[in-house]
Each structure stands twice: as C-alpha cells, then as structure tokens.
Structure 1
C-alpha cells in the first residue's frame, strides 16, 4: 500500500489543503484516504469534479506530447525530403556546369583552330564554306554557354550547398531535441 499514490498526491495537495477545500477536518480526510470512513456528499461531489479536471488536464498533456512527437516525425520527414531534393538539384547543377565548361573549352579550341587555319594555310588550301560553318557553330555554342550562364549556375550550386548545410543542421538539432526529451 506504500507504493500507491494517494488522492492528495494525485491532486498535488497536502492533507490539510484538501480538507480545507472540501470543508472537512483533516482527520476526516485522513480516515477517508485510509478507507476507514466516507465523505459527506458535498465533499464527494467536489472531490469528483477536482479529480475529473486533473485527469482531463493529464489527458490533454498526453495528447500534446503525442502531437508533439507526431509533429517532430513530420518535421524530420519533411527535412529529409528537402535534403534529398537538394541533393538531386546539386547533382543536376553540377552536370550543367560540367557541360557548360566542356562546351566553353570546345569553343576556345574551335576559335584557336580557326585562327590557325586563317593565318597558316595558303589561300588554295582554305575552305571558306567549312571555315564559316566552323565559326558559326563556335559562335552559336559561345552564345549558349557564356560566362553569365556559368556564373549563374555556380552561384546556384553554392546556394544549394549552403541550403544543404542548413537542412543537415536542422536534422541534427531535431535529433538532439528528441534524444534530450527521452
């Protein structure tokens, strides 16, 4: 019987406080808790209401804790999805940057070759139509893969890396919070 929680403890009150609230004397309350005596009707009704209120509040607190746990799980799931999406976007932007850099190298090589062909071949050996097509293709690729496009994609890449760090930190913080709560 020593391990049982008394009604006074359940309500967070001393025997004196509860007896005052129920308008009975302390010895009456003590005998009621030890199951040796009943309470007057008014005291029983008030005690019943007090216990019901405390239980409802305890139920609300449990529901809040459950909701909080569900919200943490949802938050973690959302952060993980965002991190996966960020990773995909980083891979995509990395491929775009590589393609732009490859095309820019192609353009530089093409213009260097055109310069060589224009300056180091005889007029009889030159093929003006071929050289013009080569030049047009190089200019077209240069326009599509200009420095502004490269820089824009590099900035996007840096922003995505920064976003990934923020998401990872948020996940770590969430894990720390859930460990400390348990």
Structure 2
C-alpha cells in the first residue's frame, strides 16, 4: 500500500482533510505518515479504497466528466464574449486609423495650398500674410496630431489583434467537448 501522503497529494487534500476523511485525529495521521504509528483498521480500509480508486482512475482511458464538459462550454462562452469585445475594439481602431489618415491627407493638402499661395503672392498685404501663416501653423499642428507615427502605432495594434488565432482556439475547445 502506498503511503497516505502520496494518496493525499494525488487527491489534493491537506492532512486535516485526510484525517477527517479517515475519521482519525490529525496527529495520528501525521505519526502514520512518519512511520511511527499504525492506523486503525477502519482507516486502513478507507485508505485502501482511495488507493484502489486512484489505480482504476489512472488505468482508464481519459474520460471526461460532465463537469469538464460544462466548464469547457463556459470557457467557450467566455472566449466568445472576449472575442466579440476584441472585434469591437478592432473596429474602433480601424475607424480611428481611417480618421487619422483622412485628416492627415486633408491637412497636407491645406499646407501645400497655403505654401503655394504664399509663394505666388509675395506682395500680399500684411493681413493676408498673417492669415496664411496662421493657416499654415494650424495645418502643421494638425499634421503632427494625425501624423504617420500615430498611424503606425494604430496599424501595429491592429496587426497584433489577429482574430484567426482566437477563432482556432475556440474551435479546438469545441472539438475537445465533442470528443469527450
């Protein structure tokens, strides 16, 4: 017969829980595990039943208990909810990227327009020159706010959010449920 400590470990029980299960004091179980004392017959019978169960359980092919199927189903539901959230976040990121690209393009055109206007009309009145300078400054500020570095960051976030891996994971969970 295996040591009760090995059996206790395989069941994931503490010494107190094992003592309660065997209906003996914890100190008596501790002395038995250290080899200083024997267990009463009724405790040895229960210990033998536990060992026999472990031997039969390990000898059988991996059968799934109903709890495992329920837990896998819950895991699938959680992953599907999480996947929907991630897909929504991906849509938000894509929309943000589209807005950045559009604003960047418009402000580049605006900057080019006012730069060209400034070059074509060097003798413009001071009011018009200050207005052109203000519009160029605004365009430059907006180009910086919608710049390529911001676009690259969002593109990277989109690429790191690959939905195919999540879908494959969920499908593998479903397959494991049907095989159980």
Name the residue aligned to 1:88.
88
Deviation at 1:122, TM superposition (A): 5.3
Deviation at 1:125, TM superposition (A): 6.3
The whole-number CA distance in structure 2 between the counterparts of 1:151 and 1:175 is: 36
Q: Which has the larger radius of gyration?
A: 1
C-alpha contact (below 8 Å) 1:104/1:142 kept by paired residues: yes
C-alpha contact (below 8 Å) 1:79/1:171 kept by paired residues: yes
Name the residue aligned to 1:17.
none
TM-score, scaled to structure 2: 0.61
TM-score, scaled to structure 1: 0.60
Please give the root-mean-square deviation of Cα atoms over the aligned residues, in Å.
2.6
The whole-number CA distance in structure 1 between the counterparts of 2:100 and 2:124 is: 36
C-alpha distance after superposition, 1:29-72 (max 9, x if no partner)? xxxxxxxxxxxxxxxxx9xx98xx87xx99xxxxx712201210
Deviation at 1:129, TM superposition (A): 2.2
Name the residue aligned to 1:174.
173
Give the paired residue count.
124
C-alpha contact (below 8 Å) 1:82/1:167 kept by paired residues: no
Structure 1, gaps ≥5 residues long: 1-45, 59-63
The whole-number CA distance in structure 2 between the counterparts of 1:135 and 1:124 is: 16
Q: After the TM superposition, which parts of structure 1 deviate over 4 Å for at least 4 consecutive aligned residues?
A: none
Structure 2 residue 130 is matched with structure 1 residue 140: no
C-alpha contact (below 8 Å) 1:103/1:145 kept by paired residues: yes
Structure 2, gaps ≥5 residues long: 1-44, 58-63
Residue aligned with 1:123, SS: coil
